[in-house]
Structure 1
């Protein structure tokens, strides 16, 4: 009985250490991805590329009209609330024109 308890304690300790290491590694990678946030105004020349960065004062409705993509929420599962869109949010855009070309 004591041996199985010792083995269980050791296994749980090592699992906890591995989990802690994964959490620390994940948080380190997340913080080192970008030092400076990307602004929507940097993409004014090509406003409706496949990857779109939301600018100041934009909503999903204005972006949908501008880029001719009525299915923004469906293509971006990371948007849980369509009203919670903020500058710097990265979304995927597939315009109706691009969608028609893919269907051919």
Structure 2
């Protein structure tokens, strides 16, 4: 009978310990998710809200130097997304900025203001 009570007590301690470890792990994950030195932007869209406010949702990663145009993208959206306002000037094979199609390969050079 005494051994059964000891086993229940050990089980209760282990159960409480695992709960607090899980709680600590979740707290560490949340604090790491909102650090300021991450290399991506937080936004629901490529346009800023009123007063420059942005909601903290991760969706944009830094663009590679070689970029392949995706479905529905324009040079304007790529420029906003990648921080390169001179895409046409740096890509002489683009003769008409309105004639951008999925699969087109372009060179991206982000401006220094976007690099963190």
Q: Which has the higher contact order (CA 8 A, sep 6+)?
A: 1
TM-score scaled by structure 2? 0.44
Larger radius of gyration: 2
